[in-house]
Amino acid sequence: MFSDWGFSWGGWWDNRRGEWWLLAQLLLIAAHLLPVWPAPASWGLVSWPRSLFGVGLFLLALGLVRAIQALFCLGSSLSPLPAPKTTNQLIRTGPYSQCRHPLYRAVLICSAGVVIATGSLLHLALLISLALVLRGKARFEEAGLRQVHADYDQYAAITPAIIGVVPGLDWR
């Protein structure tokens, strides 16, 4: 399975298929398991407001649902590495009609949910870092998609990259 996705020992040394982008993404996602910092008590609160906790959980669930939708849409083109597989197809339907990188959008929605549910400045820093890494990973991915799909530029011109209303996350 890993070789089908394009993993190789050499790639971990020279980042030929974007392995370093994947590693950075996975480390930042795993870091979301770190405890909340600062604790709500340092904000002068006994506990974090339930309404914000609820909104955060809703966003986390929404992000998970969006990720599952995008995964199913990709089908055999799915790869954790940003370099397109040789059998890659350009998907423009479902979540890919709303943005070019709906999996990255889903990850950011989940991360924002954690930030809102906890009020953690540490997790806010993780969200910002994750957005920067996913932006870099998406740009790496798009360079490969342009080589494989002659009509990618046309798709990219009319479809937001990750989140169309956020500066830096759309480069149409």
CATH number, residue 32: 1.20.120.1630
The reply to whether 95 falls in a domain is yes
Q: 139 lies in which domain range?
A: 19-158
The reply to whether 129 falls in a domain is yes
Query: Can you read off the two tokens belonging to residue 16?
Result: 């030929």
The reply to whether 97 falls in a domain is yes
Condensed to tens digits (0 to 9), the pLDDT of residues 16-60 reads 889 999 999 999 999 999 999 998 878 788 888 999 999 999 999
Q: Residue 34: exposed, middle, or buried by beta-carbon count in 10 A (0-12, 13-18, 19+)?
A: exposed
Condensed to tens digits (0 to 9), the pLDDT of residues 121-152 reads 999 999 999 999 999 999 999 999 999 999 99
The reply to whether 2 falls in a domain is no
Helix (H, G, I), strand (E, B) or coil at 52: helix
Condensed to tens digits (0 to 9), the pLDDT of residues 93-127 reads 999 999 999 999 999 999 999 999 999 999 999 99
Angle, alpha carbons 170-19-27 (nearest 5°): 80
The reply to whether 6 falls in a domain is no
The reply to whether 11 falls in a domain is no
Q: Please give the tally of structural domains in the chain.
A: 1
Which amino acid appears at position 31 of this protein? A
